[in-house]
Amino acid sequence: MAAAPHRLKPERKIGPVLAALAERYGPKVLSPREPLAVLIRGILSQNTSDTNSGRAYDALMAEFGDWAGVAAASQSQIARAIVSGGLADQKAQTIRTVMQWLGERERDTRSSAAYSRAAYSLDFLDGLDSAEAERTLTQFKGVGIKTARLTLLFGLGRPVFVVDTHVHRVSRRLGLIPPKCGRDKAHDVLDALIPDDQTYSGHMNIIEHGRRTCRSRSPLCDACCVRRWCLYVRISPATG
């Protein structure tokens, strides 16, 4: 007798779950962005809304013009520019550290004439494997696994899976990760589970599902396209 869908092992659930989400929310196609811009946006997005972090990024670029301008700014100047994103002093320190590191790295490889504008880039990460690139980025306080992997996925098109609060919640409810699996560990579990060609689409569609349907509070279980594979819907007092 075949197992009920919600009792399937994660490796048997993941295919139909991703297919159902793609049918509901549509396939997603990645258009890689500038890696350094992705990294800075990721730093600014921590503990705030997309709206606030977007405003902070726009303000940063409006104030300093380009990455050379950001690198020349003091930590306090950066903090004033990004205040709308919250935790401005903390994030400014991380941004300042990253920019200083990039500048020092490039001084060793470029002439002074080429250095001034071309120095501030993360394109060199393309020459590293994903694990090494992730370690390179997470050496900085304020750059965690999620931010590093966002940079690799969105900036370099690497097939690494990224776990945010929505992905973590939905994956746990579906039984794709163990109940007590933390967010950092979930990166490795889901990275091994989700096919490389679906890392971007899966990431985006799980996030959309978490925002629109599988919400933290009062999830819309009756409207859920993956409820047949869900453990939560069977144990939640609100849904029976």
Question: Active-site residue numbers?
Answer: 146
**List of residues 6+ apart from 71 with CB closer than 8 A:** 99, 100, 102, 103, 119, 120
Q: Do residues 131 and 152 make contact, with C-beta atoms less than 8 angstroms apart?
A: no
**CA quadruple 35, 39, 44, 49: dihedral, nearest 10:** 70
- Three-state secondary structure call for residue 152: helix
d(CA 50, CA 118): 29
- Three-state secondary structure call for residue 140: coil
Please give the helix or strand (H or E) that residue 17 lies within, else none. Answer: helix 10-25
